[in-house]
């Protein structure tokens, strides 16, 4: 693999690390299987891109993308908590609706950000090649995010969120207003995915509604690959595992695509991802079955 391809894989892995972190919050912390992310990823990208095109500061534009995506998460949470729609179905409804919303936001299925200022613009052209600037910049953001999220999960508020996902009856008996914890957790989860979308748009130079398809599976892949490789206890390691899982997964995908013997083409990616995640999901069960 060329250095260029390798760092490209690291870069996309670090972008999707935010999806992994978001999916960790919905699937693992809240125990809420949330497919909204397939819509909140392109929504974050679309909102950030359109605001950048409108001349707004890229950092603010990214923040706006996160807020929009977080709001999408709240919609799913309200459908489930307030209106008792099954969690998976609630998230599918929001996800489908977002497809239309994203196209409205962009006045079409995609927009280009070529030659527009991005969060990365100030860091280009200082002698470091662009293909290294991008992963370095993303790594700094990811490290900051992991520190903030780990600190959040160690707070009274964070523990209340974890209790909500782990044992809702106990949480209520302890005075935790579990409805609000689900709203907050789903907002946070989808805001992280929206951030990934906004970063994807700025590192790749475009936003496209179709980039959302399969986001959930890539996020789950990051979580599961990370959990399989890093078995240390504690939430800090769980968060780091999401990041490491995402990067390794994308490097592995790159290797698989480049290996001529496998004869894969880029469009096989989703199939490969789905097969990998399926294997990761059923292997522990098969192993348990073999022991029993």
Partner 1 sequence: MIKVSNLSVVFGAGTPLEKRALNGVDLTLEAGEFVSVIGSNGAGKSTLLGAIAGDVLATEGRIEIDGRDVTRQPTARRAALVARVFQDPLAGSCGQLTIEENLAIAAARGTRRGLGLAIGKRRTMLHERVEALGLGLESRLTDKMALLSGGQRQALALVMATLAKSSVLLLDEHTAALDPGMAEFVIHLTDRFVRDFRLTTLMVTHSMRQALDTGTRTVMLHEGRIVLDVSGATRSGMGVEDLVTMFRRKRGKAIDDDELLTS
Does position 257 interact with partner 1 (CB under 8 A)? The reply is no
Shortest separation between residue 145's beta carbon and partner 1, angstroms: 16
**Contact window for partner 1 (CB under 8 A) among 19-27, 118-126, 158-166, 281-289:** 158-166
- Beta strands (DSSP E) in 225-278 are none
Q: Is 173 in the site for partner 1 (CB under 8 A)?
A: yes
**Is 288 an interacting residue with respect to partner 1 (CB under 8 A)?**
no
Using the Cα atoms of residue 270, residue 276, residue 278 and residue 281 in order, give the sign of their dihedral: negative
* 155 CB-near residues (< 8 Å, 6+ apart): none
Question: Do 214 and 270 touch, CB atoms closer than 8 A?
Answer: yes
**Between 82 and 270, whose beta carbon lies closer to partner 1?**
82
**Pairwise CA distance, residues 177 & 163, whole Å:** 11
167 belongs to the binding site for partner 1 (CB under 8 A): yes
Tokens coding 193: 């995915």
Judged by CB under 8 A, the stretch of 6-14, 68-76, 162-170, 220-228 that binds partner 1 is 162-170
- Residue 290's alpha-carbon distances to 155, 178, 225, 281, in angstroms, are 40, 38, 22, 15
Measured distance CA(107)–CA(199) in Å, rounded: 20
Q: Which of 2, 115, 156, 290 binds partner 1 (CB under 8 A)?
A: 156
Q: Is residue 159 part of the contact set for partner 1 (CB under 8 A)?
A: yes
Q: Does 147 bind partner 1 (CB under 8 A)?
A: no
> Roughly what angle, to the nearest 10 degrees, separates helices 235-258 and 3-23?
140
Q: Using the rule CB under 8 A, which residue among 86, 128, 143, 170 binds partner 1?
A: 170
Determine if residue 110 is left, alpha or beta; phi over 0 gives left, psi from -120 to 50 gives alpha, anything else beta: beta
Q: Which stretch binds partner 1 (CB under 8 A): 48-56, 155-163, 202-210, 273-281?
A: 155-163
Q: Which of 121, 155, 210, 278 binds partner 1 (CB under 8 A)?
A: 155
Tell me how far apart the alpha carbons of residues 57 and 28 are, in angstroms, rounded to a whole number. Answer: 34
- Pick 61 or 184: Cβ nearer partner 1: 184
Q: How many CB atoms are closer than 10 A to CB 274?
A: 14
Does residue 82 bind partner 1 (CB under 8 A)? no
Nearest partner of 119 among 134, 132, 130, judged by Cα: 134
| Minimum CB–partner distance for residue 274 and partner 1 (Å) | 27
Minimum gap (Å) between residue 150 Cβ and partner 1? 11
The correct pick among 33, 109, 116, 172 for binding partner 1 (CB under 8 A) is 172
Q: Which of residues 208-237 bind partner 1 (CB under 8 A)?
A: 233
What minimum distance in Å lies between the beta carbon of 91 and partner 1?
22
- Of 178, 203, 211, 246, the residue at the interface with partner 1 (CB under 8 A) is 178
The count of residues interacting with partner 1 (CB under 8 A) is 24
Q: Is 186:77 a contact under the CB 8 Å cutoff?
A: yes
- The helix (H) or strand (E) run that includes residue 105 is helix 87-106
> Which chain residues interact with partner 1 by CB under 8 A?
151-152, 154-160, 162-163, 166-167, 169-178, 233
């Amino acid at each position: 693999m060329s250095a260029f391809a390798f760092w490209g894989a690291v870069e996309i892995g670090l972008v999707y690390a935010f999806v992994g972190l978001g999916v960790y919050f919905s699937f693992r912390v809240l125990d809420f299987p949330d497919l909204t992310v397939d819509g909140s990823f392109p929504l974050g990208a679309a909102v950030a891109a359109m605001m950048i095109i409108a001349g707004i500061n890229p950092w603010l534009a990214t923040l706006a993308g996160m807020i929009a995506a977080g709001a999408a998460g709240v919609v799913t949470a309200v459908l489930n908590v307030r209106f008792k729609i099954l969690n998976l179905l609630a998230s599918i409804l929001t996800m489908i609706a977002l497809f239309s919303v994203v196209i409205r936001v962009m006045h079409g299925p995609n927009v280009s950000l070529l030659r527009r200022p991005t969060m990365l613009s100030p860091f280009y052209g200082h002698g470091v090649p662009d293909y290294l600037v991008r992963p370095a910049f993303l790594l700094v953001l990811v490290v900051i995010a992991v520190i903030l999220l780990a600190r959040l999960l160690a707070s009274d508020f964070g523990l209340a969120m974890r209790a909500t996902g782990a044992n809702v009856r106990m949480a209520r008996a302890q005075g935790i207003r579990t409805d609000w914890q689900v709203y907050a957790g789903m907002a946070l989860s989808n805001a992280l995915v929206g951030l990934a979308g906004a970063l994807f748009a700025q590192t790749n130079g475009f936003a496209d509604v179709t980039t959302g398809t399969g986001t959930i599976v890539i996020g789950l892949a990051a979580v599961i690959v990370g959990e399989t490789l890093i078995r240390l206890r504690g939430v800090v390691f769980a968060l780091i595992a999401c990041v490491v899982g995402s990067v390794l997964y994308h490097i592995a995908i790159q290797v698989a695509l480049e290996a001529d013997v496998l004869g894969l083409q880029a469009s096989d990616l989703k199939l490969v991802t789905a097969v990998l995640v399926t294997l990761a999901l059923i292997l522990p069960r098969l192993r348990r079955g073999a022991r029993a």
